[in-house]
Homo-oligomer: A and B are copies of this chain.
Amino acid sequence: MSRPPRAREIVLDAFERILVEDGARGATLDATARAAGVSKGGLLYHFASKDALESALIERLRVLVAADIATIESAPEGVVAYFVRASVMEDDDLDRAIIATSRLAQNGHPAATRALLEMRESWEAVLRPHTRDAAALDLVMLVSDGLYFNNALGGDTPLTVVPKGAALDALIALVAQVAAPEAAD
């Protein structure tokens, strides 16, 4: 299942994790190699340049998004509720890839920005049939973006502003109710 060299994935994992935890400034080849337990030369065997490392991360995001789209459509909780809840998860593969890619996007990486835009478009396409109108769709997407943004800000100072537990359930219920194409209740 994992035909690509294992070390390659380990290096990419380390790069992604540093981007999420320390941001783009900290995500140097040196720091990545150290965190992955290889030398800089070893890293550069797998990724010939920093750009290659960044491209690989973006490609990983695309793959995870495609898988997510398949999952989201069959959520028993309902598409909108599942989508909002998934936006607040903190440590799954997709979330890490999104936040890491957004770090690149926010440092002027056009391909990263493009990948995030395409991700948003994919999600909108899935959510559209489950929302009342364009404004409701905008609202759902923006709440999701807001949750990601707040999760992404932290670093070592995790934000406590993101609702959890009962507060999250109430938020999800509210969003689902507002967005639902059927009766407003």
Chain A contacts to B: CB under 8 angstroms: 21-26, 102-103, 105-108, 110, 113-114, 116-117, 120, 133-136, 138-139, 141-150, 152-157, 159, 161, 163, 167, 170-171, 173-175, 178
Residues in B whose Cβ lies below 8 Å from that of A105: 153, 155
The copy count of this chain in the complex is 2
Interface residue SS majority, chain A:
helix
Q: How far is the CB of A33 from chain B (nearest CB, A)?
A: 19
Q: A113-B155, A146-B146, A159-B117 are in contact. Are A174 and B24 (CB under 8 A)?
A: no
Are A22 and B157 within 8 A (Cβ)? no
A108-B156, A156-B110 are contacts. A174–B167 as well, Cβ < 8 Å? no
